[in-house]
Structure 1
């Protein structure tokens, strides 16, 4: 059973042989290039390096197929407005060879994923991240932008968040202070909702979607969740990556008010609470980051 199938029952199996068949059938000019699976903590897509200069990205699930069209339409329009590199679509593949969904070929972006607790330049990275978020918020583009994934009112996350807290109560090995995380969640729900116009957000700024070199942000990837919504959606790095001092710099650079900060903390916590019981035995990277978020949020709340 593949990693994808372990994480998601019903995920379509993908391997190097399938990728070679898809490339040969639809992009014959690239058929002789090497294909190598990329280890990843991702939960929606499988990634394969194609030669030295490209990467093939294939959704694991039907829901991820919608991201292909989102990125194809909006990435070329967002790219010149952002301070860091973003994926450049080079080709869109169609269902074939038993694979059921659209898929993508992108230009390769060098760098490595940052790791919480092991950042080389945390304050500089915080400023880089704030510059990216600010640039996203300032985007104005013609056409009807998509609604960002998780970009609506925080109350829409209430039921799955509470269900995750109750599930974690039954997992003693995790040792989560469920009363404390529930209190933080309640505080987020009490924060005033965003009453300004929706702004562009990436909506999934997790360490796995960031690339750094020398400790500095060089690229942001995976725009499948992007769209317009609550600006609190892009405060995730404050708790899933940055240490306390750099977190303050990130907040100051963006000028985040108290209500938005509380919503952002709640959104980040919600994602972690839902991810931990789901991925704790199938995706060590996601589970470890979820634990990190819970520790950071509770540490800030008690600090």
Structure 2
């Protein structure tokens, strides 16, 4: 899967460019092996650097804006969280024709979890709830607004457009009337009645690492900031089976309105992802289909 196929406006990145960037800015690491890492990610390209590091380079201008935010906030968030998060070892600058800032990070071991293939789903649900609760408890001042943290109504136009786009792809078999009913119901849910909270705001399987069935680290904080606590309920539908989903909800004490908003936010992300990535990113498309099935199954019960 090439980045050019996934995003027509992606900047080309290859091993030769990465080696030149490292040699020019971090010569002490210039002799280490550089190996492209397969990833379901849609914004960044990653290369393993030696045994203990990973290079992360945005392939889109939008992702480039997140790099400085991670440099600023990750060192401040890390000691407040129960799960390891990326540690910045090098702050790369534009060079060699590459236009954006980029990062060298400490390698975090683990594998992305896969919905339907979890070893310890209930224990993982508790781990995820612990991470979300810790994020919510952060009180660092001056926080950015989370990328997805605003009113659910802001997602209404793109979500309706995605539903109509999926109506024109009958081979996907999406019950678009049922999906629209879930969305309409969520729009009637009350807005948050408390202050905005700190969020990761992109808790997809591709941004989680597990080892031995348990959460070992959380990565990619490019969407972080403060906003609606419903934004960090994504794993309930994009990863956890129904019994573990109930544990996740109970551990966080989620009320009905927040649950409805969280379910709708997760659904909106899936509806927008499926038509865009269905032929270019199999992992993203498969998880989008999974989310739609899980949301409809829960809503109908």
TM over 0.5: same fold? yes
Structure 2 Cα separation of the partners of residues 198 and 302 of structure 1: 30
Please identify, of 291-300 and 188-197, the stretch whose mean Cα deviation from structure 2 is larger. Answer: 188-197
Once the two structures are superposed, the pairs formed by residues 105-116 of structure 1 within 5 Å of their partners are 105-116=104-115
Question: How far apart are 1:195 and its partner, in Å?
Answer: 2.4
Identify the residue that residue 121 of structure 1 maps to in structure 2: 120
The Cα RMSD (Å) is 0.6
Identify the residue that residue 15 of structure 1 maps to in structure 2: 14
SS at match of 2:124: helix
Identify the residue that residue 262 of structure 1 maps to in structure 2: 260
Once the two structures are superposed, the pairs formed by residues 18-57 of structure 1 within 5 Å of their partners are 18-57=17-56
Are residue 89 (structure 1) and residue 88 (structure 2) matched? Answer: yes
Structure 1 Cα separation of the partners of residues 272 and 39 of structure 2: 20
Identify the residue that residue 97 of structure 2 maps to in structure 1: 98
Structure 1 Cα separation of the partners of residues 239 and 249 of structure 2: 13
Structure 2 Cα separation of the partners of residues 29 and 40 of structure 1: 27
Question: How far apart are 1:4 and its partner, in Å?
Answer: 1.3
- Runs of 4+ in structure 1 off by over 6 angstroms are none
SS at match of 2:209: strand
Structure 1 Cα separation of the partners of residues 186 and 8 of structure 2: 32
Structure 2 Cα separation of the partners of residues 58 and 49 of structure 1: 12
Question: How far apart are 1:162 and its partner, in Å?
Answer: 0.3
Question: How far apart are 1:290 and its partner, in Å?
Answer: 0.1
Identify the residue that residue 252 of structure 1 maps to in structure 2: 250
The superposition leaves residues 203-230 of structure 1 with CA deviations (integer Å, 9 ceiling, x where unpaired) of 0000000000000001000000000000
Identify the residue that residue 182 of structure 2 maps to in structure 1: 184
SS at match of 1:47: strand
Structure 1 Cα separation of the partners of residues 191 and 2 of structure 2: 38
**Which runs of 5 or more structure 2 residues have no equivalent in the other structure?**
none
Q: TM-score, normalised by structure 2?
A: 0.99
The superposition leaves residues 120-166 of structure 1 with CA deviations (integer Å, 9 ceiling, x where unpaired) of 00000000000000000000113x11100110000000000000000
Q: TM-score, normalised by structure 1?
A: 0.99
Structure 2 Cα separation of the partners of residues 13 and 239 of structure 1: 33
Structure 1 residue corresponding to 2:143, chosen from 130, 141, 145: 145
